[in-house]
Structure 1
């Protein structure tokens, strides 16, 4: 998650959040099952809100500062967090090692009362998909400084990815009570998005955009708003949000990817390919590579698709070497373009430290591809238990239901997937339409 520069002071009134029509309501209704990262926008990567503890100053300035004052715990913590952010945008695992070294140096200088380093360690663990460790560090940070909205953000993120949604809602509310700024409002938006309440999610994200104080926060808000527009079938609105963001941040990879998805949904495939390539040139993130590869494949460009898949396979080799749990993109890629049995094993490993709805969905699809549809249905139901508005999730369950002979339920899921996102996936959308036609033609 994106970050806030400093630890806030004593709690401020949360009235600005609660007075809004779309305010978080942490009552019983919020906690009903059937109510929430993936990214419910149909992508397969858990999406962060704006980072939770950005370092002050440029990376070069922070490096110079720790050389000059090596006993400055705050400077080491800021440098470590800066490395975490850099690694998230460059997909360079080596940068995480530099982040950990800097953060542990900060803790060595000042073991106690070091909220900045604790927040950084939590964010680092989350970036590595070690969410139990992220939760442990977030708890330490919130104990050290109960008034840190940033620490509450790390806590909320960890709870979300661990599938502890009511606890995550409480942490998000606490974050907004302390400081209802852009990162806090973005997380509030996410809680509604995860429960399929996209109108409320969009309203809160617009408030986050209004509250944004940095270019990164504004870019993030526009990319999320673009994804939310796609979920509601507003493809033109999705394109408009991405382009608005790109006017202010022309090299932002997330916005380039958002525009690529919007253009693909509009049938502007050549432009979509160009945007994906531009995004990958900035940051070769797995969901960019998979998105481009499958779009190229859908266009019959097998050689170009294989070029992207080759990079994904290389990234998977690096991941296995580092023993990091697989992300959902890697699991889905393996299920569709590699070994379904291996995809099942990857998903099982991921669920141990990340029992999150997107992982349940990826596990369901891997099980289906491996011919284990009864098990797959249980996982697909868990992926959709919170009401998440994901065409991909619904498609996956629809295919599983069809494989189990329940065509009535399969039709419901497939129609829901195509209703608002007719081009929700470059390959699967066409399969969904063909499957629906076969179901309708069955006597």
Structure 2
């Protein structure tokens, strides 16, 4: 998306599932270190909520758990409910149903499904109060989907204590630690997950470890392994999505377009892939195709990042009326968020900072960072403070956003503009150069401003000499 906040998190895609293959087959067993990459050097940073649909009770070396309900079709809510009508006291079945609702809630952007998920998961815990790591894993994923990462951590710890060898529980634990800014602990959970089950989901997390540390060649190598391991069309689409994102983050829009298009051949209605292809088209100057892909993604699921991406692309093309239509949708979504008391995400903070009320953006960012001190939130809060004219306060947060070595053009641009306002043109120049070197088309509105600002600074420096 144009309003990119750094690396796109693999775990936000429906296929980012650290549980078993949907048909009960064990995943590939090639060890992570065999690729010459040691996750121990990384810090895994993930957004949780899309893990462990079926079967939650499968551990490494176990092809299938034979208890009733354990082998229900992946994500098939109707089948799970039918099983539970026959066996209403099956805790595994209730846990699977809860996770299926979590998954559906994330892919449909319908938070009402989370209430159904919680009901099913609590029913599982009522049937089996102790050592129910399936339901505990599900409750952790549900809390993460609601952006309550402190609760997600509590549930993930319970699940891993009940069953330390379950990869799905380790994935939830890693994701919670990541969003809470506890990166070393997150890394250890990712390493355990990968050791337990080196499959598409764990390899994706390993890839993300290196991506956020700025080592994109290693990140690509692991994501290609994830693609090779992908046993289903959703897994393949997920891997293609992330390979497209990695290409985009190095300014290679043609490779990004090729990977996104390949993924869409097997999943034509995949909204994340449509967004990835839209970004690639926009970077290549294919405006019509970019608008079409963004519009299709929004029609499938109106996530704020897609709506914002479409609105800012339209604005960059001078189509202000169309842009205002998208911004109106975002404002309506923000009213719903505030009414429900849900925490603001980075897209909402950045939208308010760039297109709304900067004081509100600062408040949203301050509240978000208390609950979720992840680097993307650090960057969004820094930008909100900058837009409110509070650059001295903003700089430490901008520094933290880049503290892991993440190659994010947007983060560097944000910090550059903060440095510029503070009169540090040397630091601003270096950040602007870095932003444009990473991706010269990182944002339809900010990338042109980055070039204009850099030209001004270079002109000022040449004049001074």
Shorter-chain-normalised TM-score: which range?
A: over 0.9
**Match for residue 426 of structure 2?**
408
| Separation (CA, whole Å) in 1 of partners of 2:235 and 2:149 | 24
| Separation (CA, whole Å) in 2 of partners of 1:336 and 1:12 | 44
**Match for residue 33 of structure 2?**
18
Which residues in structure 2 correspond to 1:256-271 (within 5 Å)? 256-271=274-289
> 1:347 aligned to 2:365?
yes
| Separation (CA, whole Å) in 1 of partners of 2:27 and 2:196 | 5
- Tell me by how many angstroms 1:333 deviates: 0.4
CA contact (8 A) 2:408 2:438 kept: no
**Match for residue 216 of structure 1?**
234
**Match for residue 139 of structure 2?**
121
What does the per-residue CA deviation read over 1:23-62, in whole Å, with 9 as the maximum and x for residues that have no partner? Answer: 32x2xx547xxxx75xxxxxxxx7569x320134211111
**Match for residue 327 of structure 2?**
309
What does the per-residue CA deviation read over 1:321-354, in whole Å, with 9 as the maximum and x for residues that have no partner? Answer: 2211110000000101111111111111111111
| Separation (CA, whole Å) in 2 of partners of 1:311 and 1:107 | 38
| Separation (CA, whole Å) in 1 of partners of 2:28 and 2:324 | 54
Q: Indicate the SS of the match to 2:175.
A: helix
**Match for residue 66 of structure 1?**
84
Which residues in structure 2 correspond to 1:14-413 (within 5 Å)? 16-24=31-39, 26=40, 30=42, 51-55=50-54, 56-57=72-73, 58-413=76-431
CA contact (8 A) 2:264 2:273 kept: yes
Q: Indicate the SS of the match to 2:38.
A: coil
| Separation (CA, whole Å) in 2 of partners of 1:107 and 1:432 | 53
| Separation (CA, whole Å) in 1 of partners of 2:175 and 2:233 | 22
| Separation (CA, whole Å) in 1 of partners of 2:398 and 2:19 | 39
- Tell me by how many angstroms 1:93 deviates: 1.2
| Separation (CA, whole Å) in 2 of partners of 1:120 and 1:180 | 21
- Tell me by how many angstroms 1:287 deviates: 0.5
- Tell me by how many angstroms 1:420 deviates: 3.2
CA contact (8 A) 2:240 2:263 kept: yes
CA contact (8 A) 2:42 2:210 kept: no
CA contact (8 A) 1:14 1:177 kept: no
What does the per-residue CA deviation read over 1:348-383, in whole Å, with 9 as the maximum and x for residues that have no partner? Answer: 111111110000000000000000001111100000
CA distance 1:243–1:274, shift in 2 (3 Å) = same
CA contact (8 A) 1:227 1:258 kept: yes
**Match for residue 3 of structure 1?**
17
- Tell me by how many angstroms 1:68 deviates: 2.9
**Match for residue 61 of structure 2?**
none
What does the per-residue CA deviation read over 1:201-230, in whole Å, with 9 as the maximum and x for residues that have no partner? Answer: 010011011111222211111111001001
**Unaligned ranges ≥5, structure 1:** 38-45
| Separation (CA, whole Å) in 1 of partners of 2:331 and 2:120 | 30
| Separation (CA, whole Å) in 2 of partners of 1:309 and 1:84 | 27
TM-score, with normalisation over the residues of structure 1? 0.92
How many residue pairs end up in the alignment? Answer: 426
CA contact (8 A) 1:13 1:178 kept: no
| Separation (CA, whole Å) in 2 of partners of 1:102 and 1:441 | 63
CA contact (8 A) 2:27 2:199 kept: no
- Tell me by how many angstroms 1:12 deviates: 11
CA contact (8 A) 1:235 1:262 kept: yes
**Alignment RMSD:** 2.0
Q: Indicate the SS of the match to 2:35.
A: coil
CA contact (8 A) 1:14 1:176 kept: no
CA contact (8 A) 1:253 1:279 kept: yes
| Separation (CA, whole Å) in 1 of partners of 2:88 and 2:175 | 31
**Unaligned ranges ≥5, structure 2:** 1-10, 55-71
| Separation (CA, whole Å) in 2 of partners of 1:20 and 1:259 | 29
